[in-house]
Structure 1
Amino acid sequence: MKFQKLTAVARTVGCLILFSGFPLGLKAVCAEAQLVISPQSILSGKQQSATNICPAQLPEAIDAIVDRPEYQRLHWGILIQTLSPPRTLYSRNAQQYFTPASNAKLFTTAAALLQLGSDFRIRTSVYGKDGIVRLVGRGDPSLTDAQLRDLAQQLRRQGIRQIQQLIVQDGYFQALSLNPTWEWEDLYADYGAPVNSLILNQNVVKLQLSPQEIGQPVKITWNDPFAVGQWQIENQTLTVASGTKSDFEVNGILGKSSLQIRGQMAIDSPPEELSIPVRDPGEQILQHFKLALNQEGISVAESQIINNAEKTNEPELAFVESPPLLQLIADTNQPSNNLYAEVLLRTLGVRNSTILNQDTVTLGLNIIKTTLANLGVDRESFILVDGSGLSRRNLVSPTSLVQTLQAISQSPQAETFRTSLPVAGVSGTLQNRFKNTPALGIVYAKTGTLTGVVTLSGYVDAPNYERLVFSIMVNKSNQSAQVIRQSIDEIVLLLTGLSRCK
């Protein structure tokens, strides 16, 4: 599958930081001594003291990276400031719009944290009376089969053994489950899973691929029997000889509920799994909840799915809750989870709706803009159409990202937000970047990648300077994401070496 192949590449090469184009011989006149910066000194953590650079020399050093001949057609946007008080150290196209990719999650998670608070939880409830039981979801993205079993057990402890009518109410979010501005191929990938009010197992299922005899198609098995009817599989795979590289690609067929799986698998290869989005999440959770009830000895005579947001007067019989928002924020930013970000966007919308059936996404986007504008972020500096950054219609300036990072750093939620971000060489999407460099453990930043787009925005705790806020955005790239990341990382490493100079 295309997404999984890209992920595998990122994990493999993300920690290889090359500096072949670093400006050798750049002079840095600092208080202690006159130093010559070299790529070798930056790569070696043991030589961290030799990486010092004065703020006055920073623009020349960054320009030498950005202005390389191979980057002449790329569009760079950069803003680097001190945290408090804000003081600009470097700026390039900082006011211009860029496609942010997953850097858009910084707006969503910051607004959610400020509006909802770190202790906010998403509640999934079961209401019931006179043989009617109603499962009502409110968009908990962490809901799994274990929580459904918990709900069934709560009902059993109350003596319920029969349900005349089971209603799954999936209308808390009044919005399309798939953003119409996403590219159609995203809708067939696990990172483009539908977003609804009752989410189970992040609305993805697994396909297991196993070799058969040479010349035979690869065996494809669903790990979830209820998912079998949701997709038709066109198996265009082949089992091949031992020692051959296994490689797969999953493509959706436009206008059909069909998936085309192409590729090959060596006969001695272990089974592999592919993640596939659920096509009908309402039906999926209905079937799983009925199974959980059956396992607890509770029979169901009739069942249905409804998509309205009507409130019920029936008493609450059971409930489960998500982890607190501080964990949901981390689960959004650390692995860059699109589903979680879209849920937070919709939660902001529905929590601030005043009229029944208002579009939840539109409301959420308005709340993000208003929340951040009230903190001093320029309203005209960013335009969002989703909460995750998967849409290419998002338009964001480096200034807006830095202003957002500056603003939340002055709030009571500052530390919660900062620790939700990936840490260089340690966690999340930065786990395999900056290893064995001075940036290890002192850069907290959100990554972003789409075809032709690479971004990184966050904080640097420069050991010999002060905390910095930065946003680096590259659009219209004809280079691989790997190559662009290497140059972005060079810039970030310059920031870790900043030192106060006379």
Structure 2
Amino acid sequence: MKKTMFSVLLIFLLFSCAGLKRKAIKNIDVTLESTFFKNQFTGFLVIDPISGDTIYNHNSDKYFTPASNTKIFTLYTALKTLPNRIPTLRYLEQNDTLYFEGSGDPSFLHHYLKDSTGFKFLRNRDNLAFYDGNFVDTKWGPGWSWDDFEWYYSPERNAFPMYGNTILIYDNPEWSASPDYFKDSVITIKNTWNREKDSNIFYFDGETKDSLEIPFITSKKTVKAVLEHSLEKSIHIANKMPKGTKKTLYGIPADSLYVRLMHESDNFIAEQLLVLSSGVLTDTLNTQNARNYILENDLKDLPQEPRWVDGSGLSRYNLFTPQSMVYVLNRLYREIPEERLLTIFPTGGVSGTLKSWYSGNDEPYIFAKSGSLSNNYCLSGYLRTKSGRLLIFSFMNNHFKHSSSEIKQKMESVFETIRDSY
């Protein structure tokens, strides 16, 4: 009798769960087919990585402009190619001279990461010779907006970044600049631009701003000048590295870069991670090397081949599908311990770019990377259901004219439906 009652109860629960899931799918269908989504392009895929089941699929094989969702591919590339501590520079000693070249490490005296490993190493050496011929890439990515040159989110990329390749100007209580090498190049007046387009002349209106972060123009002469000023010693420019085996100096833990990359959606770190990966894979610093390698090897079985042109997603030339995003997220899930993985991703209602969204009230349930450009908003990552299942999703929205807040509200209702039904 007890066995019969248990069987009846189990069947009832199974039918109830199935009914709840069918209702959830219907509710999502109604949302995505509503007039709100009618005049934009939307793709949505949700899978269960354990069972392999597809929970929901809508336009998941179509290409979208991913914005900063591109950083998911950059993260995966870095995790597959870089060591646990970041290579900060490479060097070779000949006679009484230390020859050194950059690795692309973005943390060297970074305003927020503040890594000084390379700085201390060079400060304790004499007769320094800097070589920058290993960087054979452009300062900006293909399709970057030309008028972003003055904004903090668009620093130049190079072999030997310093201070995040930006000047930080702040007024506390008197205005100051970091690196202070540029202090005499700051004009304290209100101006249309924060910087001259073709020179390192900066403008700061201390009456209306507490601080301002502005990219500076990089070159081997700029690197030499800023580094000499910081180290308080002279540096020679080398035309080539001498023959011999170069040694590598390792610096900041890699996860420090990955967390800032994903939580702050740091474009500069994204670009430099591909520079770093290229330097580990080859003798040349070129971001295309890193992208080609990962696509031809670890990601050769992607459902759809992407158009991938930069590390940050600043370029509108990038094209990815929700299926490919979920594929890489699934690889991350299978290859990285869950606790570490979810720490790297922003948490809804708690951290990073998701701090104000997808809170879940009692328990966080969204761990994901957002991507925003004007008229585009994408979110891809992991969703924890009330039953404890961890699902993988990619929700991509392009070409909408609503506000991004309205898009996020609609997405949040969809996520809550899935969370409560599975």
Task: Bin the TM-score by the shorter chain.
Answer: 0.7 to 0.9
Instruction: Give the Cα separation in 2 of the matches to 1:411 and 1:263.
Output: 48
* Cross-structure match for 2:51: 85
Alignment map for 1:414-453 (pairs within 5 Å): 416-435=340-359, 437=361, 440-453=363-376
- The aligned counterpart of 2:25 is 59
Cα distance between partner residues in 2 of 1:262 and 1:123: 32
Listed as ranges, the matches of 1:102-501 within 5 Å are 102-116=68-82, 119-144=84-109, 146-155=116-125, 160=126, 163=127, 166-208=128-170, 222-228=177-183, 235-236=189-190, 250=193, 256-257=198-199, 265=207, 272-280=210-218, 282-294=220-232, 299-300=233-234, 303-304=236-237, 310=241, 312-313=243-244, 320-353=249-282, 360-374=286-300, 376-378=301-303, 380-411=304-335, 416-435=340-359, 437=361, 440-464=363-387, 466-499=389-422
Amino acid paired to 1:421: F
Q: What is the deviation of 1:108? A: 1.4
Q: Give deviations 1:20-54, integer Å, cap 9, x for gaps.
A: xxxxxxxxxx949989xxxxxxxxxxxxxxxx982
- Whole-angstrom distance in 1 between the partners of 2:98 and 2:315: 38
Deviation string for 1:176-205 (max 9, x for gaps)?
Answer: 121132111222211111111111121111
Structure-1-length-normalised TM-score = 0.71
After TM superposition, give the deviation of residue 207 of structure 1 in Å. 2.4
**Is this contact kept in 1: 2:308–2:318, CA < 8 A?**
yes
1:71 is matched with 37
Kept in 2, the 8 Å contact 1:100–1:394? The answer is yes
1:230–1:91: structure 2 CA closer, same or farther, 3 Å change rule?
Answer: farther
The 8 Å contact of residues 42 and 397 in structure 2, kept in 1 or not, is answered as yes
CA distance in 2, matches of 1:230, 1:383: 40
SS at match of 1:143: coil
Per-residue Cα deviation, 1:307-356 (whole angstroms, up to 9, x for no partner):
x6x4553886xx75232333322222121111221122223333333xx6
Q: Does structure 1 retain, via aligned residues, the 8 Å contact 2:185–2:201?
A: no
Give the residue type in structure 2 aligned to 1:368. I
The answer to which structure has the higher strand fraction is: 1
In the alignment, structure 2 segments of 5+ residues that lack a partner are: 1-11
CA distance in 1, matches of 2:203, 2:408: 30
Secondary structure of the residue aligned to 1:373 is: coil
Cα offset, 1:477, TM superposition:
1.5
TM-score, scaled relative to structure 2 = 0.84
Counterpart in 2 of 1:242? none
Q: C-alpha deviations, 1:268-315, integer Å up to 9, x for none?
A: xxx610100121254444234323443xxxx53x63365x6x455388
Q: CA offset at residue 141 of structure 1?
A: 1.0
Cα deviation, residue 132, structure 1: 3.2
Cα deviation code 1:60-116 (max 9, x no counterpart)? 222333334343211111111111122111111111100001101111111221233
> Following the alignment from structure 2 to structure 1, what is the Cα–Cα distance between the partners of residues 123 and 169?
29
CA drift at 1:384: 0.3
1:455-492 CA-to-partner distances (Å, cap 9, x unmatched) read 11011121315221100011001122222222222222
Identity %: 23
Which structure 1 segments of 5+ residues have no match? 1-29, 36-51, 212-218, 238-248
Is the 2:142–2:309 contact (alpha carbons within 8 Å) kept by the matching residues of 1? no
Q: AA paired with 2:179?
A: D
